[in-house]
Structure 1
Amino acid sequence: MNEPLVTVLIPAYNREQYVGQAIESIQRQTLQDFVCIVIDDGSTDHTRDVVETYRKLDRRIQCLALPENRGLGQALQAGLDAVRTRYFTILDSDDWYAPQTLETCLTAIEAASADVSLVCGNAVIWHEHPDGQLIQQAQQPGRAFDNQYDFILYGPTLVPRFLRTSTVREVGGFERDPITDGRMAEDRLLLLKLIHISRFIYVNDDLYNIRVHADNMTKPETRDKFIEVKRYIFTRMLKEWGDEYEPEFYIHPEGWLDIKALIPKR
């Protein structure tokens, strides 16, 4: 193999049912030169055993086992500390990549200028029935952004998040917010920091598959905490960007907080 340019980080907590499919979607990539680090965030089920089965058969698969559950942000920071490649990407342990994802994103960012820190694309959303059957629900299109204010008004999560390692480290990586200690909206905070000093590019291709199931982290009972964290993040970043705008918040029909408009302060 050539020297890998890409590391895939898969944070996992009690995902024995799904993590194997996530790993296999990486093994099926058209780009075969990669490192895959599964971060077992103190799982109490057989997640680590599942990962070890793949690791023993494929030297590209690594397991970073944390002694206790730290939450998504801290798990990703531990993974980032272990990254030795020019780029890395994040795959949720209950989701999976299209076969061309790594090659498509790598080609795009290698052809771009050095101020590009992220490549994103489209997602396909799948609903998992109680019997395990997956039904395709919709496509979640990504897009390009004119500037940081254009991005802060964008509600959906960008996927895949294919990132330039050096720029992520430049902005401090994954932070521990004062409300959940980095357990929620850690990706949103990172991207808001990145868009302030760099650019994102968009590839119009279905690169990511989102699984909607009963145990998703963004479930109704966690909405109030997500709202509190996002309000903190949005308010903080607008102040750091010069405190030029007052956010007009609204609650999305599905119960999530977004910014409806930015009102100039002067």
Structure 2
Amino acid sequence: MELVSIITPSFNSEKFIAETIQSVQNQTYQNWEMIIVDDCSTDATVKIVEKMALLDNRIQLFESEKNSGTGISRNRALQKAKGRYISFLDADDLWKPEKLEIQINFLKNNNLSFTFSFYDCIDEQGMELNKRVEAPRNLSYMQLFFCNYVGNLTGIYDVNHFGKIAISSIRKRQDWMLWLTILKKVKSAKPIPESLAFYRIRENSISASKVNLLKHNFTVYRTFHGFNLLLSLLCIIGFLFTQLLIKPRYIKTLKHRFKLF
């Protein structure tokens, strides 16, 4: 059973971090290490993680000396990772119990080096929002170029194939740049066509997300891809077209709603 390294940056996550860790501990696939890098939290996050790590030596906590953003935290965790597989889980999201087992089997049975899955959305209180985010069944680089279909909490890649892929230090959209780096090498990716995780939508992120998303995407086109101003603006138009007309096809409405915890 191959070791899976789980990369988790944290910052002021005291309300959610215990549930996040528990969702990892509840995995049917038990050969994992969870590397949590705390980015100078001012709440009880560190104390909660320390307490849980004392009872489970698969949980490792590292504290940053200064607040540097999730990209730096993920890279520090990546440096500590010893697993063949690298996966990602933010400090407020959750995995379903079979997540790792299904993904590892899917990778091995299909001779793949990267995969991801669908995921469901919950609110800050842990209530389901009746929304499932899906993705193209054969995701190409160009599809990913105009829309990030890969939920960060679902992505997993094989270090034996890619090596450890450094995360961008840009504060936003680092996961998108990581998946683009991977897709540029493998050309296309197959998702597991079922929901394996819960993405938590935070109340303080809903209102500002749309405008900021455009700014962050523009930065990706300008900085990561190195495009000039005009080409970057054209890419943003393509992104808007995808968001308005194509991505909604992959947002499914569920019929049930219940509190997870």
Deviations, residues 168-193 of structure 1 (Å, cap 9, x unaligned): 546x51122xxxxx210010111111
- Letter in structure 1 aligned against 2:145: I
Structure 1 partner of 2:28: 30
- Residue of structure 2 aligned with 1:135, choices 120, 128, 131: 128
Query: Would the aligned equivalents of 1:5 and 1:34 in 2 still touch at CA under 8 Å?
Result: yes
Point out 4+ residue stretches in structure 1 off by more than 6 angstroms. Answer: none
Residue 205 of structure 1: aligned partner: 194
Using structure 2 for the length normalisation, give the TM-score.
Answer: 0.81
> What does the per-residue CA deviation read over 1:87-129, in whole Å, with 9 as the maximum and x for residues that have no partner?
011011111000000111111112233xx4421111111123x
Q: Which has the higher strand share?
A: 1
Contact 2:10 2:39 in 1 (8 A): yes
Aligned pair in 2 of structure 1 residues 190, 258: CA closer, same or farther (>3 Å)? Answer: farther
The structure carrying a bigger helix percent of its residues is 2
User: What is the TM-score normalised by the length of structure 1?
Assistant: 0.79
1:206-234 deviations in whole A, cap 9, x for unaligned? 1010112224xx44335544322211323
- Please report how far the alpha carbon of residue 144 of structure 1 lies from its aligned counterpart in structure 2 after TM superposition: 3.2
What is the match of residue 230 of structure 1? 217
Match of 1:43 among 38, 41, 54: 41
CA RMSD of superposed structures (Å): 2.8
Q: SS of the residue aligned with 1:175? A: coil
* Aligned counterpart in structure 2 of residue 164 of structure 1, from 158, 165, 168: 158
Q: Which residue does 2:177 correspond to in 1? A: 189
Distance 1:248 1:50 in 2: 41
SS in 2 for 1:99: coil
> Contact between 1:117 and 1:200, CA under 8 Å: does it hold in 2?
no
Structure 1: state its 5+ residue gaps: 177-181, 262-266
Match of residue 118 from structure 1: 114
Q: Give the whole-Å Cα distance in 2 for the aligned partners of 1:134 and 1:149.
A: 34
Cα deviation for residue 146 of structure 1 reads 4.9
> Which residue pairs with 1:264 in the alignment?
none
Letter in 2 for 1:118: F
1:80-159 alignment runs, 5 A limit: 80-113=78-111, 116-128=112-124, 132=125, 134-158=127-151, 159=153
The amino acid across from 1:120 in the alignment is: F
Kept in 2: contact 1:249–1:260 (CA 8 A): no
Task: State the AA in 1 paired with 2:196.
Answer: L
Tell me how many residue pairs correspond in the alignment. Answer: 239
Q: Comparing both chains, which one has the higher relative contact order based on Cα–Cα distances under 8 Å and sequence gaps of 6 or more? A: 2
